[in-house]
Amino acid sequence: NESRKKAKEEKELIYSSLFPSYEFRHSYDIQFINRCTTFEDIDKFISITRNTLHFTVDTESDYYTNQAALMQIAFLPSAGELVLVLLIEVQFLSDRSSCLFS
């Protein structure tokens, strides 16, 4: 793991010297979804996403266990509108027996 980490750091150093940093050109709103997220917030997110045709998804896993840890979903609306970015903290969601899953 240590050699992989060092190789990744070296690769990132090379890339940072060759390419400019990426800058997202749209206004965005980052929202976390976890066991503390309210029903009102969930309803608001659903409403926003119903009018979205394009989105991007990225996932991250726990470094040590390789278990799902984070889902990142960016909902890309029409030009000029705010981009909604949902960070779903998979390990901190409510239990499946919770009323949130009904």
Could you tell me the end-to-end alpha-carbon distance of the chain, in angstroms, rounded to an integer? 41
- Which residue ranges make up each domain of the chain? 26-101
Q: Are 75 and 52 in contact (CB under 8 A)?
A: yes
**Token pair listed for 80:** 């000029």
DSSP 23-86: ---S-EEEEEESTT--HHHHHHHHHHHHT--EEEEEEEE-TTT--EEEEEEEEE-STTSPEEEE
pLDDT on residue 65: 81
CA 22 to chain CA centroid, Å, is 17
6-36 per-position pLDDT tens digit: 998 999 999 999 998 888 788 899 999 988 8
48-96 per-position pLDDT tens digit: 888 888 899 998 887 778 777 889 999 988 777 789 999 988 876 666 6
pTM over 0.85: no
